[in-house]
């Protein structure tokens, strides 16, 4: 099944859930499907592992990347580019907003409230069952409610990102899929897609998975690890 997301898509979740890696790979996936894509880095919390780290590859593919001003790219400051509001008001076929972790990172969404007025958008919560606080239904709901409270937005779907980085196995994927499927059933939130590392994509039995799958090619790695080609 293909991922058919279009319009404004806001990616949220707890720290370390994999929001940015997913945002980058989702942008590439839809661009290669012929969709006009824009992506905005509005992670004002974590100074590491941001969408901006992959900006050269994304731009080369023809994806619009909205970042803070160049002189502030490496600054750990709460700088929100006015261009983000412009991207929301005049979105591409798919406009992705990569938001900082937990409710702290989601506060930026409240600051963009005027830009969102009258716009159709989806807010998707990334869930990694192997991260603290999202390994239970209760924890996932607490993260969800915290983000919704500070952002003033309702989460309408979930993304399953079951991984243990380099220790991810086939069973990690299957067990994680079952977990997020349970979350979807309990909450009524649509399971938009799950992720699978590119190293395992040809080993997973897709007959066991009844939702779209996004193959992840890792971009946010330590400097001694080579990134995957997009």
For the chain, what is the domain count? 1
- Please tell me the distance from the alpha carbon of residue 95 to that of residue 62, in angstroms, as a whole number: 13
Residue pair 55/67 in contact (Cβ under 8 Å)? The answer is yes
Kindly report the CA angle at 205 between 199 and 207, in degrees rounded to 5? Answer: 140
224 lies in some domain: no
| Arithmetic mean of pLDDT over the chain | 87
* Of 219, 165, 155, nearest in space to 25 by CA: 219
In a domain, residue 24? The reply is yes
Q: Containing domain of residue 64, as a range? A: 7-216
The reply to whether 63 falls in a domain is yes
Q: What CA–CA distance (Å, rounded) separates 124 from 167?
A: 26
Q: Is the pLDDT of residue 187 over 80?
A: yes
SS3 content of the chain, % helix, strand, coil (to 5): 40, 20, 40
Whole-model pTM above 0.85?
A: yes
> How large is the average pLDDT for residues 3-21?
93
Which letter does DSSP use for residue 131 in this model? Answer: S
Alpha-helical regions (H) of 101-195: 102-111, 113-116, 137-151, 170-187
- Is residue 181 one of the residues assigned to a domain? yes
- Show Cβ contacts of residue 213 under 8 Å, excluding neighbours closer than 6 positions: 1, 193, 194, 195, 196, 201, 204, 206
Helix (H) or strand (E) holding 20: helix 19-32
Judge whether 194 and 213 are in contact, CB under 8 Å. Answer: yes
Question: pLDDT tens across 101-138, in order?
Answer: 888 888 889 989 999 999 999 999 999 999 989 999 99
Confidence of residue 42 (pLDDT cuts 50, 70, 90): confident
Q: Is 198 part of a structural domain of the chain?
A: yes
2 in a domain, yes or no?
A: no
Tell me the CATH number at 155. 3.40.50.300
State the Cα torsion 112-117-121-123 to the nearest 10°.
Answer: 50
CA angle 152, 156, 162 (to 5 degrees): 115
């Amino acid at each position: 099944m293909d991922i058919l997301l279009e319009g404004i898509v806001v990616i949220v979740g707890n720290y370390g859930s994999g929001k940015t890696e997913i945002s980058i790979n989702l942008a590439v996936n839809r661009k290669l499907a012929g969709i006009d894509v824009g992506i905005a880095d509005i992670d004002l919390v974590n100074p590491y592992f941001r969408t901006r780290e992959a900006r050269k590859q994304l731009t080369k593919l023809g994806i619009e990347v909205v970042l803070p001003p160049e002189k502030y790219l490496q600054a750990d400051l709460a700088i929100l580019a006015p261009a983000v509001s412009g991207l929301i008001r005049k979105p591409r076929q798919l406009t992705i907003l990569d938001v900082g972790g937990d409710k702290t990172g989601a506060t930026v969404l409240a600051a963009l409230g005027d830009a969102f007025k009258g716009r159709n958008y989806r807010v998707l919560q990334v869930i990694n069952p192997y991260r603290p606080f999202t390994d239970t239904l209760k924890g996932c709901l607490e993260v969800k409610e915290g983000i919704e409270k500070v952002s003033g937005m309702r989460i309408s779907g979930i993304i399953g990102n079951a991984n243990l980085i380099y220790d991810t196995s086939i069973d990690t994927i299957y067990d994680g899929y079952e977990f997020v499927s349970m979350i979807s059933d309990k909450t009524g939130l649509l399971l938009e897609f799950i992720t699978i590392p590119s190293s395992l994509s040809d080993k997973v039995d897709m007959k066991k998975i009844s939702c779209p799958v996004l193959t992840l090619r890792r971009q946010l790695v330590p400097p001694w690890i080579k990134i995957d080609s997009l």
